Amino acid sequence: MEGTLLGFLQTARRAGIRISAAESLDAFRAVETIGLTDRAALKDVLGLVVAKSREEKELFSECFELYFTRARLGDAQPGDMQREALQRVQADGDAADDATMGNTGAGGTALARMLRENDRAGLALALEAAGRRTGATGIRFRVQANMFVQQIMQDMGLAALTREIERLREQGDDAAADELERARDRLRAEVREFVERFLALSAPAENIWRDDNLKTVPLWRLERHDVERMRVSVRALAKKLATRYGRDRRHRRHGHLDVRRTLRRNTGYDGVPFTTAWKKRKLEKPRVMVLCDVSGSVAPVAQFLLLFVHSLADALSDVRSFAFSSHLIDIGDVLEREPVEIAIAEIVKQIGFRSSDYGRSLADFAGGFMDHVDRRTSVIIMGDARSNYSDPRTDIMKALFERAKLVIWLNPESRPSWGTGDSEMWRYLPYCDVARECSNVRDLERAMHELLTRGS
Amino acid sequence: MSVQVTQHVNPDPARAIDDVTAGLARAGYIATRQIATAVYLGQQLQKPILVEGPAGVGKTELAKAASQLLGLPLIRLQCYEGLDESKALYEWKYGKQLLYTQILKDTLRASFDESAGLDAAMTKLRSFDELFFSEQFLEPRPLLRALQQPGGAVLLIDEVDKSDEEFEAFLLELLSDFAVTIPELGTITAAVPPLVILTSNNTRDLGDALKRRCLHLYIGFPDMRLEQRIVDVRVPGVGERLRAQLVAFVQQLRKLELKKLPSVSETIDWARVLLLLNVEELDADVVRETLNVLLKFEDDVNAVMNQAAAFVIKARDASVPG
């Protein structure tokens, strides 16, 4: 039992469920209490001890089904016979080794016999043992599947089996040979299924690995099927940041003793200060204005910036979003109507694919919205600052910089290429509190962190 | 740490779990096998049970039913932002302490007059100090009370996700050792460990340390048969046909994308309303009139309103036995 349970815990860990040593011990204690007779009860109990969130419960359920379906094959026979079968298999493994070394065993191999007699339990055990010996149970990637299938077949005595089939053919017993060949193919299919099952078990772990990698992939190079995953990941990040800063805001209680309020509060105790009152510094939620360049090269990154900012709604007050290429428009209502990904497509259709003009866009902003910028407002500008040699209107940037609390410029291009060609980045730079490269989700996360710490 | 199984191994755990199910049912709580297993295991392993799930599926009810099942008092701690030790664990009765010093002023002065010199007075004062920080002046709050119950208790820590992370960390000692430390008095250990049930609505992710110490039970929405049984127990007057129909209707609503899905508590409320209105069979008009019992958002009500007739027909079909 211990082996089975340990094996299961390992499998579950590989599938992405976090199980600490203490929880493993709990699992053992729990199983001792409940016994192993009832499969449903076992599942309930392990689920309670091992899986600690809704997602983990789902993973757990999958793992449990996969793992214990496999184990059940062996339960078809009572214990003694099982052991016997196992010995037979091991002996067979040795025999297979002998056979490969040249000692041709007489009377056919045990594998052939099991196939011929359709000894399900024996085969299952042999498969199990071979899987463990070859390390196939630890499979992680799909490309390994074929290799493991082949290795397991070899380990179970494929060579000896093939020789036996040849021998039968030489003896002219074609019918028997055909039958054995068919059985061999069936076995191969079963082995493949076995390997696939373990592959399925490790798939979530692969996803975690991929998610980590995705964070550093430039956003415009994301493949379509990764975009959705990235969105989920961005929302999760935003939620985490939002809770964290929400808490900071509530808990920032540094300050000095408020003598006046303390005395007043304690007049009832004859002025003895039983309760104290403190001067509190109030932290405000940052007000944010986002200006996004939606010309071809920047749009993919802008999409994630907008997604991030809007997912942060809990930690921010009053987010206003603008998009620009040749001119600037307010996109607040589009974003309210549609989810970000659809809204962006709509906006790009409306004003994208034109040569960007930063001067004009800034002038548009100054004309309509500069009044809304106050000393509580943080302005985030996302763009490559490539303005096609038009007037950059740095005077507006300067005015913006002076009015706003914080100006963050996020540039998807790498720093060395700033200012090259038609890029006006160096001319805008003096009017930014923060200017950063921002090409992947990790950069975005850092920028948001900056916004939340310095903007409040 | 060594693997040692110290607790008594029940010869027939399956029977014991059945007993728990039956006991909970007597307390008016229809439990799935998983829920019953959690309660049984929580008792056997003396581990707290962390219950998560959508609002209104009976997380809090479970604790109440468990206290009835075990015949132990239920002690409830409602968590909220800013909850701290002085409200959860204990507080000194400052007022009483102050009052006593005032009343005893004269006595004190008299006894101080006798003693000559500052040293002797200090020594005396220290002995009073002991007096004033004794259990007599201690106001036990829910956590401490749960530990002090002579026969054990069921401790419900409700909506633990609403509390601050600091408080969550503070709970760890209680949850793993069933003990709390009061600086002036020392560590207080429970004579009989209480059965602790924590509930969470997942407004924030709980820490791993907390989760590791608990059994984790997720209660989702019940399936049709279970929900019918729940309605049967909680609102006994509802006829069999209406019961089947209203449950089928609610089950359909849960498949929609609504702001807030109707929960078991809403089903029960709705059943009560329908009973009061003397409804015998579900029809579109009744549904439209009473939909606001089930759905709590204007948008949701509007979304369902024009589909109500279709849902009623489906609910009638689904509820035809066999």
Contact criterion met (CB < 8 Å) for B13 and A33 = yes
What pLDDT, on the 0 to 100 scale, is given for residue A106?
39
| Coil, strand or helix at B178 | coil
Same domain, B41 and B133: no
Q: How many CB pairs under 8 A join A and B?
A: 80
Contact criterion met (CB < 8 Å) for A269 and B81 = no
Residue B163 lies in a domain: yes
Residue B322 lies in a domain: no
Identify which of A140, A129, A152, A150 has the alpha carbon closest to the alpha carbon of residue A199. Answer: A140
Contact criterion met (CB < 8 Å) for B13 and A22 = no
Contact criterion met (CB < 8 Å) for A54 and B52 = yes
Q: What is the pLDDT of residues A87-107, one digit of tens each?
A: 554 444 444 444 333 333 334
pLDDT > 70? residue B249: yes
Q: A-chain residues within 8 Å CB-CB of B10?
A: 33
| Coil, strand or helix at B79 | coil
Which long-range contacts does B223-231 make (Cβ < 8 Å, 24+ apart)? Answer: B223/B251, B224/B248, B224/B251, B224/B318, B226/B30, B226/B32, B227/B251, B227/B264, B227/B267, B229/B30, B230/B30, B230/B264, B230/B267, B230/B268, B231/B267, B231/B268, B231/B271
Q: B251 pLDDT band (50/70/90 cuts)?
A: very high
- CATH number assigned to the domain comprising residue B46: 3.40.50.300
Q: What is the pLDDT of residues B43-88, one digit of tens each?
A: 989 999 999 988 888 899 999 999 999 999 999 999 988 888 788 8
Q: B-chain residues within 8 Å CB-CB of A44?
A: 33-34, 37-38
**Full domain range(s) for residue B191:** 13-79+148-218
Residue B2 lies in a domain: no
C-alpha to C-alpha distance for A218 and A227, rounded to whole angstroms: 11
What pLDDT, on the 0 to 100 scale, is given for residue A74?
41
Same domain, B158 and B66: yes
Q: How far is B126 from chain A (nearest CA, A)?
A: 21
Identify which of A446, A308, A301, A440 has the alpha carbon closest to the alpha carbon of residue A383. Answer: A301
What pLDDT, on the 0 to 100 scale, is given for residue A327?
87
Contact criterion met (CB < 8 Å) for B216 and A38 = no
Residue B35 lies in a domain: yes
Q: B-chain residues within 8 Å CB-CB of A64?
A: none
Q: A-chain residues within 8 Å CB-CB of B44?
A: 33
Chain A residue with minimum CA distance to B49: A48
Mutation pick from A1, A17, A52, A237 vs chain B, by most beta carbons of B within 10 Å, is: A52
- Judge: domain A234-251+284-454, CATH 3.40.50.410: yes
Averaged over B277-303, what is the pLDDT? 88
Neighbour count for residue A109 (Cβ, 10 Å): 22
H or E element: which one contains A177? helix A174-214
Single-letter amino acid code for the residue at A378: S
Question: What strands, in cross-sheet order, belong to the sheet with A287-293?
Answer: A328-330, A317-324, A287-293, A377-382, A406-411, A434-437
Same domain, B110 and B161: no
Residue B121 lies in a domain: yes
Structure tokens at A381: 């500008």
What pLDDT, on the 0 to 100 scale, is given for residue A286?
77
Domain ranges of chain A: 1-75, 76-214, 234-251+284-454
Chain A residue with minimum CA distance to B220: A54
Domain count, chain B: 3
Same domain, B213 and B233: no
Averaged over B204-218, what is the pLDDT? 87
Same domain, B115 and B231: no
What pLDDT, on the 0 to 100 scale, is given for residue B72?
93
Q: B-chain residues within 8 Å CB-CB of A57?
A: 216, 218
Alpha helices, DSSP H, located in A15-137: 21-34, 39-50, 54-75, 79-101, 110-117, 120-134
pLDDT tens track, chain A, 456 positions: 677 788 888 878 877 788 888 889 999 989 888 877 788 888 999 999 998 888 888 888 888 887 777 554 444 334 444 444 445 544 444 444 443 333 333 345 778 888 888 777 778 778 888 888 888 877 777 778 888 888 898 888 888 888 888 888 888 888 888 888 888 888 888 888 888 877 777 666 556 656 666 677 777 777 666 777 777 777 777 777 777 666 555 555 556 778 888 888 888 888 787 787 877 766 667 788 899 888 877 888 888 888 888 887 767 778 888 988 888 888 888 888 887 778 888 888 888 767 788 999 999 999 988 888 888 888 999 888 888 888 888 999 999 999 998 899 999 888 888 888 888 899 999 999 989 888 888 888 888 888 887 776
Q: A-chain residues within 8 Å CB-CB of B217?
A: 48
Chain B residue with minimum CA distance to A46: B215
Those residues with Cβ within 8 angstroms of residue B186's Cβ, 6 or more apart along the chain or in another chain: none
Q: What is the DSSP letter of A386?
A: B
Residue B8 lies in a domain: no
What pLDDT, on the 0 to 100 scale, is given for residue A80?
44
pLDDT > 50? residue B142: yes
What pLDDT, on the 0 to 100 scale, is given for residue B4?
41
Chain A residue with minimum CA distance to B4: A29
Same domain, B55 and B178: yes
Same domain, B70 and B158: yes
Q: What is the pLDDT of residues B144-158, one digit of tens each?
A: 999 988 888 999 999
Same domain, B211 and B253: no
Q: What number of CA atoms fall less than 13 Å from residue A205's CA on the CB side? A: 20
Q: Describe the crossing of helices A21-34 and B33-45 by its angle, rounded to 10 degrees.
A: 110
Residue among A23, A32, A41 minimizing CB distance to B212: A23
Same domain, B70 and B171: yes
List residues of B whose CB lies inside 8 A of any A CB: 1, 3, 5, 7, 9-10, 13-14, 17, 33-34, 37-38, 41, 44-45, 47, 49-50, 52, 81, 94, 98, 164-165, 204-205, 208, 211-212, 214-218
Same domain, B163 and B63: yes
Same domain, B153 and B211: yes
What pLDDT, on the 0 to 100 scale, is given for residue A261?
85
Q: A-chain residues within 8 Å CB-CB of B14?
A: 37-38, 41
Mutation pick from B218, B221, B257 vs chain A, by most beta carbons of A within 10 Å, is: B218
What pLDDT, on the 0 to 100 scale, is given for residue A400?
92
